[in-house]
Structure 1
Amino acid sequence: MTWGEGPRPLFAQSPRRWVRLLPWALAFVLAVALLPTTIQVLGVDYGLHGGIASALAVAQAAPLLLAVVYPLRAWYVVFAADVVGALALLTGDFPAERPWPFPAMEVVGFVGLSLALGLRETRRTLLAVWSATAAANVALLFAAPHGTDASDLLLTILGGGAMLLSAALRERHEAQRRLAEQETISETERARRTVLEERARIARELHDVVAHHMSVITVQANTAAYRLDDLTPAVRDELTSIADAARASLGEMRRLLSVLRSEAAPGELAPQPDLARIGQLVEAITRAGVPVEFTPCEADVPGAVGLSAYRIVQEALANVVRHAPHAPTRVSVAVDDGVLTVLVVNGPAPQPTAVPVESGGTGHGLIGMRERVRLVGGELETGPLPDGGYRVAARLPVTGTDHDSGGGT
């Protein structure tokens, strides 16, 4: 048997103060109530000497306070005092109707101690405690002065029941706690996996954008000698070196893409959309029954920015369909001062005809939006509106990106 789990009171980890104080209060009330009662009963009803009765009462009641922190140590003291008390009662002359070997107040104290044991100790320790109690109880019955009956086993029966009950409650609480922890870990892992999957998807899409510009560089460098006159040999060699470097970079990107796309869905192999495709997306959502007011943008933006804008609008409109079907929605895309602003605002779903496709969400769509905005160094604001609608606003810089260095034919 062990000494318990250390100097930590029962329920010490509870966030509620009254729950942490409850074991101390119960132990104090039980000890204060049993101490004078035990002295009175042992001295008057069983005829023990006052000093012996007082010593036994202290040994049986005071350790109940210790049980809040060290229930197993308290059991050693109380159990020994109960056995010694039963033997001491044999020296006195008490009526046959008085219970023996353990009077009622000793049974009450032992049951309270058993509850504390069940909340703290392992199954093996509890089985050892109950076995020792049962063995001592049965052995004492052989010395019973007035015969025996089933009531003489109350200490063993009630003590075992109390340990079983409190142990079951403790294990149920532990199971619920572990389940809550596992759910928290699982949700964290799901969010982390979503971020990684979105980043891999962004990397695949970014490849298509960057590969286009690298291909243009390769073609321009290879054909410069035929398109431009009077190129010096040094310039021709430099252009050839540029073409070779661009071609090698494309090869490396294709090898990387083969890894990223090894488990890609077939739809992810198609050409990536841009600002021009947002209108088609809005038309599809409108056909699905969502009234959308669309303000298009004809500006020329870098491929990565256009792709990010398209995906943000796509996810925002998908959320409208899922959570606020048929809600009036406004989509606007505009470029001002080198910043592409994407705004998707929907009102509340009309009641009572519109029933949300989903009553809750994982937040993974917002994670994808944030990853795409972070990719191009932009800002994202999302949140509910006072009227029950929702707003998604993204600001994506269109300068200082691949648009400036992409080149053209």
Structure 2
Amino acid sequence: MTSVEEGPPRALLAGASRRWVRLLPWVFAFVLCVALLPTTIQVLSLDYGLNGGVATGLAIAQTAPLLLAVVRPLHAWYVIFAADVAGALALLTVDLHGRQVWPFPPMEIVGYIALCLALGLRERRRTLLLVWLATAAANVALGFVAPEGTGAQGALLTILSGAALVLAGALRERGEAQRRLAEQETISEAERERRTLLEERARIARELHDVVAHHMSVITVQADTAAYRLERLPPDVREEFTTIAATARESLGEMRRLLGVLRNEETKGELAPQPGLTRIGQLVEATVRAGVPVEFTPVDADVSEAVGLSAYRIVQEALANVVRHAPGARTSVSVSESAGPDGTRLLTVLVVNGPPPEPPVAPLESDGTGHGLVGMRERVRLAGGTLDAGPLPDGGFRVAARLPLTDAP
């Protein structure tokens, strides 16, 4: 017979949420030991007439393992079963007078039934069946040597132990079924929450498309047709409208790709290549065409796609803030590679702008959400880096991000 338990042993009811329930098996086993040990010694020595030393040894072997049964009931059963059979054989050496119960006195039956309850709460069906068969076989075998007038007493332990094993086993299986049901309900609740989240994301994606895509399309069309609608446009103005249209189309395409990710939970990632360090130069050129003088110091570094995308988005948001809040301010963008205090490689992204040459009459965006810095901090945090952003004494602004580098595949 093998125990169903694997790994370190756990006490019966150890998984209960309340402390008093976890302590209940220990208290029950201790009370049984305290009550049965002296009773067994007295009954075996005084009522049955066994030698005092033999009675004490048998009593200890039949009751003390009940404490072990809280953690390892099958091991306790080996000891108690052998002690009960040995006690029955020892009682054959005394005169039973035909009135004492044999082969198992009442206190032994009480301890054995308690042990069967512990077995039923811990072991699998096959083990419980083998335990009951061993109990029945022992009773049958002892029946062949039963003293005169005590032959029918052995069936009592077989019946009671079987009932205890069935009852405790049913309780254990019912508890396991309830636990599995609770786990399934938890999983179902998580799935419902996930489905609700996906539905909300899809709703937000539709609203995002409806609100933004229309305006971006209008900007693209107006910029593309400006050369035909407006006569005698200077070449630099015509080029500016072309740049505006290209930027609007690129933004609209990127928004639609993000929209596809939000709408489709099976999408593993965008199929279009993500911007990285090599695209920062295009950002700078577009900002210069918007009237902001920018000095750019690039770096030739081999970085992962995630780090490159984070650096690109940080520069993109920082330059967008310059255009919105400090139009015309001199700006410097630098991307460099350095070593951290602990020797790790870092990619440093620095965007610094001075004060605008003339304070704007009105902000370009009167209802800014302030999500730009939050988004930058989130990207840097996910990459495991640090971000330092804040105003400068001369009225400018500084954004410095340090991203840990990983070896590119």
SS in 1 for 2:50: coil
Which AA in structure 1 matches 2:179? Answer: R
Rg: which structure is higher?
2
Q: 1:177 aligns with which of 171, 179, 186?
A: 179
Q: Assess if the C-alpha contact under 8 Å between 2:3 and 2:127 holds in 1.
A: no
What corresponds to 1:157 in structure 2?
A: 159
| Aligned CA distance change for structure 1 residues 339 and 239 (closer, same or farther; 3 Å) | closer
- CA distance, structure 2, for counterparts of residue 121 and residue 100 of structure 1: 29
What's the CA shift string for 1:4-54, capped at 9, x where partnerless?
A: 634322222223222222212211111111112211222222222111111
Give runs of ≥4 in structure 1 deviating > 4 Å. Answer: 147-150, 247-263, 337-340
1:2 match: 2
Distance 1:4 1:252, change over 3 A: closer
Asked if 1 retains the 8 angstrom alpha-carbon contact of 2:112 and 2:161, the reply is: yes
Q: Which ranges of structure 2 fall in alignment gaps of 5 or more residues?
A: 266-364, 375-409
- Residue in structure 1 matching 2:148, options 130, 146, 149: 146
**Structure 1 residue 230: Cα displacement:** 2.7
Equivalents in 1 of 2:258, 2:29: separation in Å? 68
Greater Cα shift, 17-26 or 229-238: 229-238
Q: Which structure 1 segments of 5+ residues have no match?
A: 264-336, 341-373, 378-409
Q: What is the TM-score of this pair, normalised by structure 1?
A: 0.60
Question: For residue 89 of structure 1, what is the aligned residue in structure 2?
Answer: 91
Separation (CA, whole Å) in 2 of partners of 1:54 and 1:205: 84
Change (3 A) 1:181 1:225: same
Question: Alpha carbons of 1:245 and 1:17: their partners in 2 closer, same or farther (altered >3 Å)?
Answer: closer
1:107 shift after superposition: 0.6
Partner SS, residue 231 of structure 1 = coil
1:61-114 CA-to-partner distances (Å, cap 9, x unmatched) read 111111111111111110000011111111211122322211111111100111
- Contact residue 200 and residue 260 of structure 1 kept, 8 A: yes
Is the 8 Å Cα contact of residues 64 and 74 (structure 1) preserved in structure 2? yes
Deviations 1:122-149 (A, max 9, x none): 2222112112111111111111122555
SS of corresponding position for 2:146: coil
RMSD: 3.2
- 8 Å CA contact 1:204–1:260 kept in 2: the answer is no
Provide, for residues 148-202 of structure 1, a one-character-per-residue CA deviation record: whole Å limited to 9, x for no partner.
Answer: 5543211121112112111211221222222222222221221122112211221
Count of paired positions: 273
C-alpha distance in structure 2 between counterparts of 1:254 and 1:25, whole Å: 66
The structure showing larger relative contact order (alpha-carbon pairs under 8 Å, at least 6 residues apart) is 1
Which of 54, 57, 73 aligns to 1:55? It is: 57
2:47 corresponds to: 45
Equivalent of 2:18, from 12, 16, 20? 16
1:112-127 counterparts in 2 under 5 A?
A: 112-127=114-129
One-letter code aligned to 1:160: G
* Partner SS, residue 157 of structure 2: helix
Question: Could you tell me which residue of structure 2 aligns to residue 362 of structure 1?
Answer: none
CA distance in 2, matches of 1:4, 1:37: 33
Instruction: Report the TM-score, using the length of structure 2 for normalisation.
Output: 0.60
- What is the CA-CA distance between 1:3 and the residue it aligns to? 4.5
Cα pair 1:45 1:94 within 8 Å, conserved: no
Maintained 8 Å contact 2:12/2:70 = yes
Distance 1:232 1:171, change over 3 A: same
Q: SS at 1:18's partner residue? A: helix
CA shift digits 1:330-362 (9 cap, x unpaired):
xxxxxxx9679xxxxxxxxxxxxxxxxxxxxxx
- Say if 1:58 and 1:196 are closer, same or farther in 2 by CA, change over 3 A: same
In the alignment, the residues of structure 2 paired with residue 103 and residue 148 of structure 1 have an alpha-carbon distance, to the nearest angstrom, of 12
Q: Which residue of 2 aligns with 1:106?
A: 108
Deviations 1:266-302 (A, max 9, x none): xxxxxxxxxxxxxxxxxxxxxxxxxxxxxxxxxxxxx
